Amino acid sequence: MNKQGNTYTIIYIVVLVLVVGAALAATSISLRPRQQANADADKMRQILASVLITPAPAEVIPTFEATVSRRFIVDAEGAEVAGDAFAVNVAEQSKLPSAERLLPVYECRLADGSVKYVLPVYGAGLWGPIWGYVALDADGSTIYGAYFAHQGETPGLGAEIEKPAFSSQFEGKQLFKGAHFLPVAVVKAGRKPAGDEDYVDGVSGGTITSKGVGAMLSDCLAPYEAYLSTLRK
Amino acid sequence: MFFNPFSKDNPVVVQILGICSVLAVTAKLEPAIVMGLSVIAVLAFSNVIISLLRNTIPTNIRIIVQLVVVAGLVVIVSQLLQAYAYDVSKQLSVFIGLIITNCILMGRLEAFAMGNRPWPSFLDGVGNGIGYTIILVVVGFFRELLGSGTLLGYQVVPQCLYDAGYVNNGLMILPPMALVVVACIIWVQRSANKDLQEK
């Protein structure tokens, strides 16, 4: 058969693509459970990091099971809705209007007996998505700890949001000022926000990423206001 | 054939191929090593596959065939990393996918595997992959050491130096310094190998 002819060429490429496609599908299917387990374990590690627990990689799952006493979903009215909080895709939820979102809450019981509430947040940095977890004390207002991560912020600049030097600033900040709900602002070092909300210093050289963190907090924590108010009693 | 790409015919510093990924993944040593290993694997296997197919590939679609093989292998490597080295795959994220466009691969497939038997092609792939990895590791070593004061995540610059006023050079973490480091390697290498110097 003529190897330079059209028929040969077309048959050749079709067969090749089918073979490669089948190989890819087989790989993907056989590795999927392992990849999902990895992604889940990583999510658990991040949730634990927000309550300032950093277990060894092999200890993540048992520690998570021992620490998280209850996980549930609330809606913007503060009422619980059915569903698995862990399976909620925060990235998709954050695109919905706040009244329609499913809002996961992880209730953690720490070694000292205190109860913390971990809320996931998701937003946009300079180059790509940023996300994190904010842990609140039982009063629903005081931040106990925070964890932030990013997909591809500039190393040394915006990427600094994932360092404890940035996230530890949030500890002790209040989400409620009197009866008003005001998420923590992120401002340039040395500046103050316009209102009287609590604030932290942004990363120098990472202005847009820092603003992204502030916008993410106000966007993703605001829907929890009704639920957090019930904690305040 | 196997050892040439390490120095005299190095794909990065002599043929100046694959510079893009050298800039991107060498801010830390660990992703540089994993990226190097991934490129060795993809390059070796794609060289063998193309070499096996070389007499059947229609000439007018040979680049497409090469791309399909490389892209397939890269996706498999990326899936394997996600399953068995999740943390590293998160760090490398998009760059594993970019191996597809790494010029070293197309260069070796076109220049070597299309005209040679599978075993020499395999050696050529591994050799060029190692040549690429050597440069990646050297650049990663200096950038992590000078930029973060660590190696493979372990602190190596002692605290007493910081106390004495030493600071990490943040510029080293940014991509432009990778170019400068690569240029320094090229300089050293051409001083050592006079026959590489252009007249």
The ipTM assigned to this model is 0.74
pLDDT in tens, A89-111: 888 888 888 888 899 999 999 88
Would you state the pLDDT for residue B177? 87
Report chain A residues whose CB lies below 8 A from the CB of B91. Answer: none
Distance from CA of B163 to the nearest CA of A (A): 19
Provide mean pLDDT across the span B132-140: 90
Residues whose CB falls within 8 Å of the CB of residue B38, separated by 6 or more in sequence, listed in order: B77, B81, B92, B96, B99
Q: Over 70: is that where the pLDDT of B199 sits?
A: no
Q: Do A4 and B93 touch (CB under 8 A)?
A: no
Provide mean pLDDT across the span A109-117: 89
Report chain B residues whose CB lies below 8 A from the CB of A152. Answer: 93-94
Domain span holding position B156: 4-196
Would you state the pLDDT for residue B123? 92
Torsion of CA B14, B17, B23, B25, to 10 degrees: -110
Confidence of residue A73 (pLDDT cuts 50, 70, 90): very high
E strands present in chain B: 150-151, 154-155
The beta-carbon neighbor of A31 closest among B83, B94, B173 is B83
Tokens for A5, please give them: 């002819």
Provide mean pLDDT across the span B144-160: 83
Provide mean pLDDT across the span B83-104: 80
Provide mean pLDDT across the span B126-135: 91
Element holding B152 (H helix, E strand):
none
Q: Do B56 and A38 touch (CB under 8 A)?
A: no
Q: Do B65 and A20 touch (CB under 8 A)?
A: no
Please work out, in degrees rounded to the nearest 5, the angle formed at the alpha carbon of residue B80 by the alpha carbons of B74 and B85.
120
Would you state the pLDDT for residue A135? 93
Would you state the pLDDT for residue A233? 65
Residues of chain A in Cβ contact (below 8 Å) with chain B? 3-4, 8-9, 12-13, 16-17, 20, 23-24, 27-28, 31, 34-35, 38-39, 41-42, 151-152, 154-156
Report chain B residues whose CB lies below 8 A from the CB of A13. Answer: 61, 64-65, 68
Round to whole Å and give the CA distance between B35 and B157. Answer: 25
Q: Which residue of A has its CA nearest to B83?
A: A35
Q: Over 80: is that where the pLDDT of B100 sits?
A: yes
Report chain A residues whose CB lies below 8 A from the CB of B61. Answer: 9, 12-13
Q: Over 90: is that where the pLDDT of B10 sits?
A: no
Q: Do A155 and B61 touch (CB under 8 A)?
A: no
For every residue of A159-172, DSSP letters joined together read: GGGGSHHHHGGGTT
Provide mean pLDDT across the span B115-119: 91
Provide mean pLDDT across the span B161-182: 84
How many beta-carbon contacts under 8 Å exist across A and B? 64
Report chain A residues whose CB lies below 8 A from the CB of B114. Answer: none
Would you state the pLDDT for residue A107? 92
Cβ burial of B145 (10 Å; 0-12, 13-18, 19+) is middle
Distance from CA of A2 to the nearest CA of B (A): 9
Q: Over 70: is that where the pLDDT of A163 sits?
A: yes
Report chain B residues whose CB lies below 8 A from the CB of A35. Answer: 79, 82-83, 86
Provide mean pLDDT across the span A56-80: 88
Would you state the pLDDT for residue B120? 92
Provide mean pLDDT across the span A74-88: 87
Residue bearing the bigger pLDDT, B57 or B20: B57
What domain count does chain B have? 1
* Mean pLDDT of all residues belonging to chain B: 85
- pTM confidence score: 0.74
